Chain A
């Protein structure tokens, strides 16, 4: 990795990273369930099961176990676009409890070649319903810059002004 950055504008999270690997390989690390299990999850967790039918409308499901206390967290979703080695779009929701669907979000990952390295742009946006997910894919981030600023200022004034 040579560079990373991220930003959050209200409801959307964007993370960019450059990996020192060709994008075919980075894409495969996302699209191959075995490889996905090797890295998915925070540093104190391990993916113990990854099922992924990596094609449009295919389902995925992952169990992530907290290494120290053994707590299991399930998350799952559906692939919406699979375009190797350019782009992956999938839905994501925590299962709380397992088998149920929590708040749905949409993840878009794009892979751009940069002289043999790969610039990955990850974006996750929250939606409270499937309808809104479809309607507002591009609409969430546009006007939240001031809102984010407002929030960070409010944080220093707990009573909310």
Chain B
């Protein structure tokens, strides 16, 4: 995984408004006006957030129409998802070993009546 791209993705996601925009786009593609409607901020402010998301590759924007509808791009998010999956395996296996370690301690305690 390209670390720089992951960093860029995380940076773009580190804002609640931008996460809300992505959340909105999971339902359907939407224009700037549609995206801005429920948000408590100006259209230029929303447009700025869209530019950040577009630079991070998290959304694409249509070219044909004046409205330039936004669409969620899954690629960078899949990287984040992979990040989580890698760590899940790492820790699940570590905690299996922790479980074994604790069991060993318990057996020691049972043997001599004292914890080591």
Contact = CB atoms under 8 A, between A and B. Distances in A.
Interface of A: 1, 4, 6, 8, 10-13, 15, 17, 19-21, 25-26, 29, 35, 38-43, 96, 102-103, 120, 122, 124, 126-129, 132, 135-136, 139, 143-144, 146-151, 154-155, 160-161
B100 A39 contact: yes
Given A29-B98, A41-B94, A122-B91, A151 B74 contact: yes
Contacts, number: 125
A21 B14 contact: no
Given A42-B90, A42-B93, A128-B10, A19 B98 contact: yes
Nearest to B104: A38
Nearest 7 CB-CB pairings of A with B: A42-B93, A128-B10, A39-B97, A154-B74, A39-B98, A8-B84, A150-B26
B74 A20 contact: no
Interface residues of B, number: 45
A151 B97 contact: no
B74 A160 contact: yes
Contact of A129 (B11, B75, B93, B94): B11
Interface string B7-46: 1101101101001101100100000000000000000000
A15 B91 contact: yes
5 contacts: A10-B80, A39-B97, A96-B3, A139-B16, A151-B81
Given A21-B106, A29-B101, A147 B93 contact: no
A154 B77 CA distance: 11
A2 to B, nearest CB: 10
